[in-house]
Amino acid sequence: MADWEVRPASAADVDAIAELRAVVMRGDLERLGRYDARRVRQRLRDGFVAEWTWVIEVGGAFAGCVALRPDGDARCHWLEHFYVGAQHQGRGIGSGVLGELLERCDRGEVDGGGGIGVGVGVVRLNVLQGSPARRLYERYGFVVEAEDAVDVFMVRGPAA
């Protein structure tokens, strides 16, 4: 497993994250007939909230990101914008980051703003149909809640 660290994101990270999103998602979006080079980046910029986002670094360099957004009534968190650069994939970084985040959720140590939250532990996400990332989420206890032609919506309850 590669050595990695996470740090809180800042507004200055948005362009690097938007570019990574475009690169990482391109294959799946093209397969689904949904790729638009401008839109894929702009959607990230439009919804970016630094307080909910962490940057993944390997050797002090940008390697990926992940966001954990509280839902409107604090019943769960949404795992979003979880991207690891291709050169860092397959090295256990995604698994390590996801495992750490889920443990923090289960202990009530996230509130979406980096502080201490309520121990809700329920995490939701959506993944593109056919994405290999789905297997990672299933290994961590996520189950399909609903799906459509483009997205698979998954949920994971708090750890027992």
pLDDT digits (tens, 9 = 90+) for 53-101: 999 999 999 999 999 998 876 678 899 999 999 999 999 999 999 999 9
Give the rounded percent of residues in the chain with a pLDDT score beyond 70. 89
* Residue 114 pLDDT: 44
Helix (H) or strand (E) holding 84: strand 77-84
Helix (H) or strand (E) holding 136: helix 133-139
Contact between residue 134 and residue 127 where contact means Cβ atoms under 8 Å apart: yes
Token digits of residue 31: 């397969």
Rg (CA), the chain: 15
54 has which bridge partners?
A: 8, 66
pLDDT digits (tens, 9 = 90+) for 6-59: 999 999 999 999 999 999 999 999 999 999 999 999 999 999 999 999 999 999
Residues 58 and 75: their CA atoms lie apart, in Å, by 33
Residues 55 and 67: their CA atoms lie apart, in Å, by 9
